[in-house]
């Protein structure tokens, strides 16, 4: 584990995850604790290091995907969109 994340990250991964957390806080008006908890819940046990495919998406994409869930099809802006329950 690396500090606040419950998965292994290198410096680049940590910076990217920090940006995702910040974007979640900005987009959804949630606090850092909730944003970190959501990221950790999704990626717990999955290393985030060099050449990871997750870098192919933006921080905004991941913020929304973590918050709403991939199965929600959030990118189509469906009516009645609700975040995944937390915790």
CB 23 within 8 A of CB 35: no
**In a domain? residue 87:** no
**In a domain? residue 84:** no
pTM of the model: 0.92
- Beta bridge partners, 2, equal 5
Number of neighbouring beta carbons within 10 Å of residue 19: 15
Which structural domain, as residue segments, surrounds residue 23? 11-76
pLDDT tens digits, one per residue of 23-80: 999 999 999 999 999 999 999 999 988 788 899 999 999 999 999 999 999 999 999 9
Give the count of domains, the chain.
Answer: 1
Q: Where are the alpha helices (DSSP H) in 29-86?
A: 32-43, 59-68
């Amino acid at each position: 584990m690396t500090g606040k994340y419950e998965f292994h990250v290198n410096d680049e991964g940590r910076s990217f995850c920090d940006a995702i957390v910040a974007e979640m806080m900005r987009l959804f008006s949630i606090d850092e604790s909730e944003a970190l908890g959501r990221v950790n819940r999704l990626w717990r046990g999955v290393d985030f290091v060099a050449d990871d495919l997750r870098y192919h998406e933006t921080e905004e994409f991941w913020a929304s995907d973590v918050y709403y869930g991939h199965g929600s099809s959030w990118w189509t802006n469906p009516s009645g969109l609700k975040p995944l329950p937390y915790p």
